[in-house]
Amino acid sequence: MVDKINIQSALISVYHKQGLEPIILALKGLGADIYSTGGTAAYIRDLGAEVHEVADLTGYPSILGGRVKTLHPKVHGGILARRDDPVDQQELAAHDIPTIDLVIVDLYPFEETVASGAGDDAIIEKIDIGGIALIRAAAKNFRYVAIVPSAAQYAQVGEWLQAQQGALTLAQRKALAGAAFNVSSHYDTHIHNYFQPKSDSLKVSFQQPAVLRYGENPHQKGYYYGKLEDQFEQLNGKPLSYNNLVDIEGALQLIDEFEEPFFAVIKHTNPCGCATGSNMLEAWQKALAGDPVSAFGGILACNGTIDASIAEDIKEKKLFFEVMVADAYEPAALNILAKSKNRILLKRKTKKSHSLIVKSLLDGYLVQQKDKKELKAEDLEYKSSRKATSQELSDVLFGDKVVKHLKSNAIAIVKNGQLIGSGVGQTSRIDALAQAIFKAKDKGFDLKGSTLASDAFFPFSDGVEMAHAAGIEVVVQPGGSIRDEDTIKFCENQGMCLIFTGTRHFKH
């Protein structure tokens, strides 16, 4: 094993040719033997370099419509042979196999073909066989061979060849081998996920993460792996932060629960205010009224269009917020909102999202389905003789959707399609209820006629007793406590409406 190898031969077969020219010219200047196929060979000749066709080396033409070009011992033998192994060298000589010092291959664009919506036949044809075999072979034998596995490495390798008079060091070759296995594993992951989208295996692979300003706190590094450009068009503002992205996810999961005009104000993933309305302006004003203090520095999100009336109202209230997400913005609204250069304005492109939640913890990963359970009127189990009115029923369904998106222990107090009080992240349910009642009263809301939604059952009757004392008339909760009868009895005696859903909505 040697540190530096002088590149005297190269096999080049690539799909993407842009940026390859400096390497070709460097190889030409070194007098290296170049082997290639098809369009790549023609490209190299156009640059004035001599090319040996792989078919001449192997004695076989490209067959099966190009499916088999480089899968041959005379190709892979020259790549995989150990230069310091006498037996390997004897076999090369016996079979007239030339050694290959540099392999430059990139793969058919499988991931892009799937994303384009192409049919199954077109996608299958973009599963690279020869290319992946060349990449793995050259990477395995990095002690003697250098591999360039994608167009992303063209520029760097071209610079190395120029600076080192056609030589590549062991450290450089090992780094390229690592990049090669990164490329191959990423490629195979997407093929696997195409064939088995609901596999029990957890296979996730993204290249080139977005480097965020920092993580959850300034002393933590943060990255985003994904394609934000497929989700949003950013119309204004600074780059998104880690916390912005977490809050945006929380906002979108909530607003996508609703078909009617709906607006939410999010702080630390919890809705501090949200509401439906006859139009988006009304929904916005009701959402903000739910907790105008906590709205400062929050995320604003809606399931429709931001018009000038909403933008003017925000301007008049001098509300500072970091991010707004909407389906669309009227030009006049955009003109008003974009006057703050740091304010992030996002226009949604799609409502597509993952169906799974993945968390890293201990030395592994937790995976679960997203909580997509939607409560319907026919799912309700009345536990009291007092039944909900039409408006109360609407609030029951509204409240159950909202409390699902509050951190546990969670309580949502709602009235007329508006969140008027919330208790979130408390270690006891009674504390969450006390917090929700306090916040509602502190903002001047009349709790008489309101509805309480709980993400899990009340373990004792003290919860409904506190709710009744505050003027709350309807309680919706999963049920399931061994003391449910105490709660049912109290509600019946006080003329309250008590509804069980049978579905818990913990969120941690």
Task: State the CB neighbour count (10 A cutoff) for residue 391.
Answer: 14
Name the residue with tokens 């970091």: 322
Q: Which of 186, 268, 441, 489 is catalytic?
A: 268
- Coil, strand or helix: which one is 357? strand
Over 30-62, what HEC string results? HCCEEEECHHHHHHHHHCCCCCEEHHHHHCCCC
Task: Name every residue whose Cβ is closer than 8 Å to that of residue 233 and which is 6 or more positions away in sequence.
Answer: 346, 347, 349
- Token pair of 382 as six digits: 């009345």
Which 8-state DSSP code applies to residue 295? T
Residue 296 · residue 289 · CB < 8 Å: no
Angle in degrees, CA 19, 21, 26, rounded to 5? 125
Place of tokens 């009345």: 382
Catalytic annotation on 383?
A: no
Let me know if 76 is a catalytic residue: no
CB 418 within 8 A of CB 394: no
461 backbone φψ class: left, alpha, beta (φ>0; ψ -120 to 50): alpha
| CB burial string 325-353: b at 16+ within 10 A, e below | bbeebeeebbebbeeeeebbbbbbeeeee
Q: Mention every residue, 6+ apart, whose C-beta is less than 8 A from residue 171.
A: none
Choosing from 17, 52, 126, 140, the catalytic residue is: 140
Which among 97, 182, 99 has a CA at the least distance from the CA of 139? 182
In one-letter notation, the amino acid at residue 38 is G
- On whether the CB atoms of residues 498 and 382 are closer than 8 A, the answer is yes
Q: At what angle do helices 280-290 and 308-317 cross, to 10 degrees?
A: 20
DSSP H/E element including 423: strand 419-423
Residue 364 makes CB contacts below 8 A (sequence gap 6+) with none
Which positions are annotated as active-site residues? 140, 268
